[in-house]
Every structure is written in structure tokens, then in C-alpha cells.
Amino acid sequence: MSRTVVVTGASSGVGRATARALGARGDRVALIARGERSLEATAEEVRRAGGTPLVLPADVADAEAVEAAAARAEAELGPIDVWVNNAMTAVLAMSWDVAPEDFRRVTEVNYLGFVHGTLAALRRMRPRDRGVVVQVGSALAYRAIPLQATYCATKFAIRGFTDSLRTELLHEGSGVRVTMVQLPGLNTPQFTWVRTTLRRRPRPVAPVFQPEVAAEAILFAADHPRREVWVGGNTATIIAGNKLLPWLGDRYLARTNVKGQQDDVPIDPSRPDYLYTSLDDDRGAHGPYGGEAKTRSLQLEVVKRRGALGAGALGLALGAAATTLARRGS
């Protein structure tokens, strides 16, 4: 049975791959992002896959624009069954090199954008006592890394907001569910247009996965809204390991992760970026790291086949293994 699904950040990367996957299921997909040209390209992919798209250009940092998009989605596609909060931006730089206004902008898009989307969905879902809100998160919602203070802080905030909201819905006895998908490093175009002070091209933290893996997890979470869904063995290791020995993570990341987030391709740090305005050139779902990107996640298969308890147990085992290896290497 087809559903009405709203996807924010739908013009590229994870949002683009998710919209395509929803289209393949025959869903009606409302597409929210700033760039109309790239949204139209996403819509065509949804249409070819078998779905019904609706292009809704909007900046998720604008609460009124998000509310207007939600109203139009329901008017043209029907009651919203699933809302996927995915829109994001970032500045890759040492914290002291980020301008205050840039910190504010990332917070408005990433954190407040999720709040605006969630509240717009709840205004419609709570009276009907049904619906699912999927928050697209990251292992970095638990373990912050260098160069990404702007992004990590907002993912931590989203997790806090989501945990509070979940308890409120439980208190109310609501049939609305909220779930968070914690993702690994992904091969998306974001690294080609992110604002940065680096002199070499930013890259995702290895191991890298294709955005279709994230899309698979998002659709699973929408169908089976568990508290959280972890994707990638590294995600499980990071989350579990950070609970056990966070100080060890601090030292390891300080030693390895600044270099680990750059490749050998030189860039001009003043190149155009997407922080304040949409570049709106269609970059699709994939970035430049397809050669190393994995197309499936064993961790996700464990979640899907064995349930949340099995996934958590595997995560703790991986975390313990990582700790043991770190001790041996220190």
C-alpha cells in the first residue's frame, strides 16, 4: 500500500537515494530542499521508479516555509504517513576558525530544521494518532570528531530533542512513533560543496558506504520504527566504544582524524559552498568516493534479521573488540 512520505534534503545525497527508494515502492513523495532545479531532477527519478513526486522548494531553517510545505503535501498527496528529516549542512574547520554566524546557520539548518519538520509532522499526525518521524542521524551524534564541531553539536542536539519527544509521546499514549537512524561515513556530494578552511578536499571518515545503504535503513526504520537503527559495524563500534572509554576515543581521533578527513586532491577553500545559498547544480546522490564505498552493511542486516537487541549486543561486542585492539596498539 502506497504512503505519503515527506523527505527533507531531498535534492542530493541520502535524501536523493531515499526518495528514489520510496518511488520504487510506489509511494507519494514530497521533496523538500532549497534548489528547485535539483529537486526537479530528484522528482524525475522518483517518477521513473514508479512513485508520485511533489517538488516543494523550501529552506528548512524557515519554520513558516516548512509548515507551508507540509500543508501543500497533504493537500496534493494526502495525509502524511512518514516524515524523514534529513536536510543538513556543515563547516569543516577547527572550531576557532568558524565564524559565529556560520555556527548559527548550521544550527538553524541541522537542528532547528529537524525541529521544524518534526513539529509540522506532529501537527498532522497527533490528531490522527498515527505516523512515523524518522530522524537521520549519525555515529557523530554520540562521538564528536575534530573539524566537525558545527555538525556534531547539531547531531547531539537532534538526539536530545528526539529522546525528549519520544518520552512525551509515550506519556501521551500516542500512536505516533519517532525513530533515529545513526549512519556511518557516506559517499555523498556534500564533500564537494561543504564550506571548509581545508586546503585538500574533505572526505568521509572510512569505512565509506553508498547512500543507498542509508536509504535502505531509513525505509526499514519507517516500516519498523525502533528506538534507533545503527548502520555499519563502525557505527556500532564508535557508539559502544565511546560509552566504555571516551578518553581513548579523544586521543585516537586527535591523532588520526584530521588527516583522515582529507584526501590528496587540492581545493580552493574559497570555492562556492552551499551554506547560505543553494548552488542548485544537480550533483545527484553520489560523491567522488564510489571506488571504496560499500554497497551493504552487515550491521544493518543484523538489525533487520535479529532485532534491536541483537544489534545492540553486536555493537557492544564490536566496541569491546575495538577497545582491546586499541590497548594493544597503545
- H or E element that contains 239: helix 233-244
Are the CB atoms for 266 and 200 separated by under 8 Å?
yes
Alpha carbon distance 199, 261 (integer Å): 12
At 328, is the pLDDT very low, low, confident or very high (cuts 50, 70, 90)? very low
At 93, is the pLDDT very low, low, confident or very high (cuts 50, 70, 90)? very high
Quote the mean pLDDT of the chain: 92
Backbone φ and ψ for 291, nearest 5 degrees, come out as -65, -25
Alpha carbon distance 141, 172 (integer Å): 26
What is the amino acid identity at position 255?
R
Q: For 110-120, what is each residue's pLDDT tens digit?
A: 999 999 999 99
Is residue 55 scored above 90 in pLDDT?
yes
Domain containing 102: what range? Answer: 4-266+285-329
- Output the CA–CA distances (angstroms, integers) from residue 282 to 19, 40, 42, 65, 149, in the order listed: 15, 9, 9, 22, 27
At 309, is the pLDDT very low, low, confident or very high (cuts 50, 70, 90)? very low
Task: Tell whether 276 is covered by a domain.
Answer: no
At 315, is the pLDDT very low, low, confident or very high (cuts 50, 70, 90)? low
Task: Tell whether 278 is covered by a domain.
Answer: no
More confidently predicted of 316 and 233: 233
Are the CB atoms for 203 and 212 separated by under 8 Å?
no
Q: For 243-272, what is each residue's pLDDT tens digit?
A: 999 999 999 999 999 999 999 999 987 789
CATH number at residue 108: 3.40.50.720
Alpha carbon distance 136, 215 (integer Å): 10
- How many distinct structural domains can be found in the chain? 1
Are the CB atoms for 208 and 186 separated by under 8 Å?
yes
Task: Tell whether 277 is covered by a domain.
Answer: no
Q: Is residue 269 reached through a cis peptide bond, with omega within 30 degrees of 0 on the bond before it?
A: no
Is residue 329 scored above 50 in pLDDT?
no
Task: Tell whether 273 is covered by a domain.
Answer: no
> Where would I find the H helices in 107-189?
112-128, 149-172
Q: Residue holding cell 498532522?
A: 124
Task: Tell whether 190 is covered by a domain.
Answer: yes
Q: How many CA atoms lie within 13 A of 21 on its CB side?
A: 21
Catalytic residue (one of 111, 151, 274, 289): 151
- Output the CA–CA distances (angstroms, integers) from residue 230 to 30, 282, 295, 297, 313, in the order listed: 25, 29, 16, 10, 12
Closest-CA residue to 298 (of 317, 280, 314, 282): 314
Alpha carbon distance 101, 6 (integer Å): 29
Task: Label the pairing between strands 28-33 and 4-8.
Answer: parallel
* Helix/strand/coil for 281: coil
Are the CB atoms for 316 and 240 separated by under 8 Å?
yes
What was the pLDDT predicted at 330?
A: 44
What was the pLDDT predicted at 269?
A: 74
Task: Tell whether 248 is covered by a domain.
Answer: yes
Establish whether 142 is a catalytic residue.
Answer: no
Is residue 241 scored above 70 in pLDDT?
yes
Are the CB atoms for 7 and 19 separated by under 8 Å?
yes
Task: Tell whether 280 is covered by a domain.
Answer: no
Are the CB atoms for 100 and 152 separated by under 8 Å?
no
* Helix/strand/coil for 55: strand
Alpha carbon distance 226, 307 (integer Å): 9
What residues contact 68, with CB distance under 8 A and at least 6 apart?
A: 58
Backbone φ and ψ for 202, nearest 5 degrees, come out as -65, 150
Percent of the chain with pLDDT over 70: 92
Tell how far CA 84 is from the center of its chain: 9
Task: Tell whether 223 is covered by a domain.
Answer: yes
What pairs with residue 56 in β-bridges?
Answer: 32
Q: For 132-158, what is each residue's pLDDT tens digit?
A: 999 999 999 999 999 999 999 999 999
